[in-house]
Amino acid sequence: MKTQGAAAVVFGGASGLGAATARRLAGEGAQVVIADLNADLASQVADEIGGHAQACDVTNSDSVQAAVDLAAGLSEGGLRISVCCAGIPNPTKLVGREGPTPLDAFAKVITVNLLGTINALRLAAGAMVTNQPNEEGERGVCVNTASIAAYDGQIGQVAYAASKGGIVGLTLPVARELASKGVRVVTVAPGLFETPMMASLPEAAREALGSVTPFPCRLGRPHEYADLVAHIVSNPFLNGEVIRLDGAVRLAPR
């Protein structure tokens, strides 16, 4: 899929991995919609890259559809690239000091991370299947964001690991479903990255987290995630795959 001139939407594109991806795609000539719950921050990133901002809640169908429609109208070729980085951590144990954790705590994380991804995926893919195919027969590409917590989640990551594991699990069946329509689906499972969540920690804590990554012995940088997304977009043979981007780290139980 050629990025130059293509219309793209990045859900959760106002900060962190999403903002880095929006910048990278815009730098390669895409017309980018930054869809984020934080409308002000989305507007700042859009102004910076010459893109478009859309207030968006990935758990709301009308909200996601508005972002998809905006992106699809930016190019005669329609929406070609969708990247979903929206998500929340919200640590949860199964049983806390006061007993079983309320079910709502799990539901919130799973609703945003898993159902939000499915919502963005289904509506973006729904727009892409109506596109004219390119010379490779492609009509679009959807990139989802899981986490290495899907494979080696830590204590206190019950809902988070479950939600990201769901994204890993849906990748192949959705890729198979959309194959006949020329829409590719790939998931990235990042390790420990420099994100707004990490930025809130003391420097010593960030260094300690980075030091557990075998090589390079540091936190991942958002542009490295964006670099991988750009390659996924450009490589038509990448489909139905989950790619760990983690410097070979495997998380300890705690």
As annotated, the active-site residues are 160
In sequence order, the 6+-apart residues with CB closer than 8 A to the CB of 45 are 13, 14, 15, 19, 22, 23, 34, 51, 53
What are the φ/ψ torsions at residue 69 (nearest 5 degrees)?
-65, -40
**Single-letter amino acid code for the residue at 121:** L
Per-residue tokens: 124: 């973006």
Of residues 101, 82, 96, the one with CA closest to residue 13: 82
Place of tokens 């939000």: 116
Of residues 21, 22, 25, 34, the one with CA closest to residue 6: 25
